[in-house]
Amino acid sequence: MRGDLRFLGALTALFAASPAPSVSAVGAGGSGEPVALAVLDFDYVDTSGEPADLAAIHNQRLGAFTSALRRDLSASGRCRIVSIACGGAPCVSSADPFEVQKAARAAGARFVLTGGVHKMSSLIEWAKIAIADEDEGRVVFDRLLSFRGDNDEAWRRAESFAARQILESLFREP
């Protein structure tokens, strides 16, 4: 788990910020074929100041969140999840964005989804999710979602909501 969420600043610096067109609007949704999407492992930071060390629990929840996101996006039939490697290991959200872009293109991934979760307090957590279109060279999805609670159910609900938001945003008709 990383101690910061620098990947978002680097991702934004790599791709010019622009309104998020739908995948259909950028030409990927019209063929009926699922789009190739790399979903990188998320980063996590806890600044809640809670005395108990919950790192193992949070690491497990973060892994479950990312796995469920991959599963739900793939199950939609609109996305084909692609694995990409940076320096011989799976790329993660905090990896060098230029290396991620190069790996995504080499693996045939049209889109790269990065993200992180920030536990602000014992009650509030934030999930930052961004998707870059490697063909267009820009961010096409950028959301900061908040969720209440630090338990398995809160994390499951946040993931389910995030998956719906991604699918609705990327695959809306122009």
**CATH code (residue 130):** 3.40.50.10070
Report the number of distinct structural domains present in the chain.
1
Residue 25, in any domain of the structure: no
Residue 1, in any domain of the structure: no
Residue 22, in any domain of the structure: no
Can you give the pTM of this predicted structure? Answer: 0.82
Q: Which domain holds residue 164?
A: 6-17+32-170
Nearest to 2 by CA among 109, 115, 97: 115
Which pLDDT does position 1 carry in this prediction?
A: 44
Q: Which segments in the chain show pLDDT lower than 50? A: 1-22, 24-29
Is residue 79 within a helix (H) or strand (E), and if so which, with residue range? strand 79-81
Which pLDDT does position 172 carry in this prediction?
A: 81
Task: Kindly state the DSSP code that residue 33 receives in the 8-state scheme.
Answer: S
CA–CA separation, 145 and 21 (whole Å): 19
- Residue at token pair 């699918």: 167
